[in-house]
Structure 1
Amino acid sequence: METSSLQNRLTEEERRAFNETGYIIVENALSPEQVTALTAEVDRLYENKLQEGHDPQKALFYTDFVKDHPLFMDLVDYGKILPKVWDILGWNIYMYHTHMIITPPSGQEKSDKTFGWHQDSGRVNLEMESHPRPRLSLKVAYFLSDLSEPGRGNFWIVPNSHVQDKIQIPDNGHGQPEGAIPVCVKPGTAVFFDRRLWHAASTNWSDITRKVLFYGYGYRWIRRKDDMTMDGLLEKSDPIRRQMLGDGLNCNGYYTPTDADVPLKVWMREQGLPV
């Protein structure tokens, strides 16, 4: 981790917005060159999936893509983003989940069909006893395609809904919850959102293919959400990246970590940050 990354820590305005609304938008998180290079690799993987038999008319939901190219790996501990993640969740964190979503044009006419609204984490939302539900994790979505207009398969959210265990979803299959909005962003934008924020994917009614990379960060005592291929990755990584990839000395270290378990904490302390 470069010390220059400290300039990218969460601002007080961002902290207030995230706590109050459940999300923040970081424009120009990726440079145009990064967007071009990442898009080329996404296109390559998508073509491979098509050759393997993926239906080109259906969205591709592909987990464990980080192993497929160093450019994806570089976003695991990206200096423009990770400081904001640790400012929200603290230092006992790792990347527990990743997925790439490619949504081609649907060819459908626009409709008001209700989207699949949900909070992340599945059974967690049924089995945790607290109210509101605990934050536990967040996701960072890197948008590679131009979603600056609605109707392009945009990510939809209900701002401020992260502290609501339930929201009123139309039961007739038409329309969206009150307050729902599409997230309209340009390529290179990163969107942070609390796992509890009610959100949904939408139909792509445009002629643009939607391409997004999702990186999920949570506490180290949370189990992985998908099978991640770590063969050779830890050996090639520096200590903080190893932590983000889930490394640790032993099982107890995820619950009661020593400094050796959490090099991010050590590095933060060396920079004079409160830990």
Structure 2
Amino acid sequence: MLNFDELSQFNRNGYTVLDSIIPNDVLEDIQRAARQMSETEPLRSSWNERSCFRREAFCRLLDAPELIELAVQLIGEDVQLLQFDMLRTRSGDAEPEWHRDVEFAAGKTLAVSIAIYLQDTPARAGPLRLVPGSHRQDDGPPRSLGDLEGGIAVPVPAGAAVVHDAALWHAGTIDGPSVDCWALFPIFGKFWIKRRDLGCTQPPPARILGLTDPLKRQLLGFALRPGVQSYLGDPDQYNRRGDPGLDFAQHS
């Protein structure tokens, strides 16, 4: 959980850094799973939640209290795990472009990305780069490689996390030794935000379909917990009388 000063800094700059966000035994299990996946699929560079949640090591993240409590604090009781990826980068890979993880910006945080690194990321070995305050920009970043004005690098030790508003401008770094650099990227958001990419046409792994814990089922998008409310859409009658509302501009 972030204290008042940390939360204020997050709202102002769009990011914060936590030295540890998952238990050491969970981190070690995931590191082992990542090595096994690398050996099984040596040419692959990314795995999504459909792949990761087939392994118990990644399912244990749903039991990591600091991670889940942080997501609830930043998003609200109606939090959902919108996306979960594991990425591997190596020296010689194409340099990532600047981007934001959601295509909208708002006056409050509606989605948050958490980059959890499985190894140390010193200044020249794969740290995340970001532009503080850019989560409040209406436009996304220019399609650019290299550094942007105002951008900073955020090196962290293994197990640490860079937590940022999903609208914050950011990019990875490919500038280090010829070793694999691994990171997990869970993205949490409001329950009413839903993805529309083709990956969601694949059913979740059987391992998680049978989960009964209400919080885990909510995180995976199955159903809200009892007593938790979220925006579920306007009724058909909304604005039929011409009342000003969120779905159209009021004209004088």
State the alpha-carbon separation in 2 of the partners of residues 165 and 182 from structure 1. Answer: 23
What TM-score do the two structures reach when normalised by structure 1?
0.72
Q: Does 1:164 align with 2:137?
A: yes
Quote the residue 2:74 is aligned against. Answer: 88
2:66 and 2:176 mapped to 1: Cα distance?
A: 32
- Say whether the 8 Å CA contact 2:99–2:141 is kept in structure 1: no
Provide Cα deviations, 1:19-74, integer angstroms capped at 9, x if missing partner: 01111111022344433221110111122222xxx26xxxx122124312222112
Does the 8 A contact of 1:154 with 1:182 survive in 2? Answer: yes
The counterpart of 2:41, out of the listed 27, 49, 52, is: 49
Q: Kindly report which structure 2 residues correspond to 1:110-121, keeping only aligned pairs within 5 A, or say none.
A: 115-121=96-102
Q: 1:61 to 1:107 in 2, by over 3 A?
A: closer
What is the match of residue 255 of structure 1?
231
Per the alignment, do residues 133 and 119 of structure 1 end up closer, same or farther by CA in structure 2, a change over 3 Å counting?
A: farther
Are 1:234 and 1:245, in contact at CA under 8 Å, matched by a contact in 2? no
Aligned position for 1:140:
114
2:92 paired residue among 106, 127, 140: 106
Divergent runs of 4+, >3 A: 30-34, 131-135, 166-169, 253-257
* Cα separation, 1, equivalents of 2:181 and 2:90: 6
Q: Write the mapping of 1:65-76 to structure 2, written as runs, cut at 5 A.
A: 65-76=51-62
Q: Which residue of 1 aligns with 2:124?
A: 151
Q: 2:221 & 2:27 partners in 1: Cα distance? A: 26
SS in 1 for 2:80: strand
Partner of residue 244, structure 1: 219
SS of the residue 1:68 aligns to: coil
**Contact preservation (8 Å) 2:99, 2:140:** no
Deviates more, 1:68-77 or 1:26-35: 26-35
1:159 maps to amino acid: P
Contact map agreement 1:156 1:183 (CA 8 A) in 2: yes
| SS across alignment from 1:208 | coil
Q: 1:67 to 1:132 in 2, by over 3 A?
A: closer
In structure 1, what is the Cα distance between the partners aligned to 2:218 and 2:174?
Answer: 36
The count of corresponding residues between Structure 1 and Structure 2 is 224
Instruction: Show structure 2 runs of 5+ residues with no match.
Output: 234-252
Matched, 1:212 2:183: yes
1:107–1:205 contact (8 Å) kept in structure 2: no
Please give the alpha-carbon distance, in whole angstroms, between the structure 2 residues aligned to 1:69 and 1:43.
13
**C-alpha deviations, 1:103-152, integer Å up to 9, x for none?**
123289xxxx8x5111112xx43xxxxx75663211122111110x2221
- Distance in structure 2 (CA, Å) of the matches to 1:132 and 1:256: 19
Is the contact between residue 133 and residue 196 of structure 1 (CA under 8 Å) also seen in structure 2?
Answer: no
Residue equivalent to 1:265: none
Superposition CA RMSD, Å: 2.7
Q: Which amino acid aligns with 2:193?
A: I
How many angstroms does 1:179 deviate by?
Answer: 1.5
- Distance of 1:140 and 1:168 partners within structure 2: 19
Note if contact 1:137-1:219 (Cα within 8 Å) is conserved in structure 2. yes
Contact preservation (8 Å) 1:155, 1:201 = yes
**Mapped partners of 1:168, 1:188: distance in 2:** 28
SS at match of 1:75: helix
Give TM-score scaled by structure 2 length.
0.78
Could you tell me whether the CA contact under 8 Å between 1:93 and 1:244 is conserved in 2? Answer: yes
Structure-2 change in CA distance of 1:205 and 1:223 (3 Å):
same
Shift of 1:214: 0.9
2:155 aligns with one of 181, 184, 201: 184
CA deviation after TM superposition for structure 1 residue 255, in Å? 3.2
SS at match of 1:106: coil
2:7 maps to 1:15: yes
Q: Distance in 1 between matches of 2:14 and 2:8?
A: 10
Among all aligned residue pairs of Structure 1 and Structure 2, give the percentage whose two residues are the same amino acid: 25
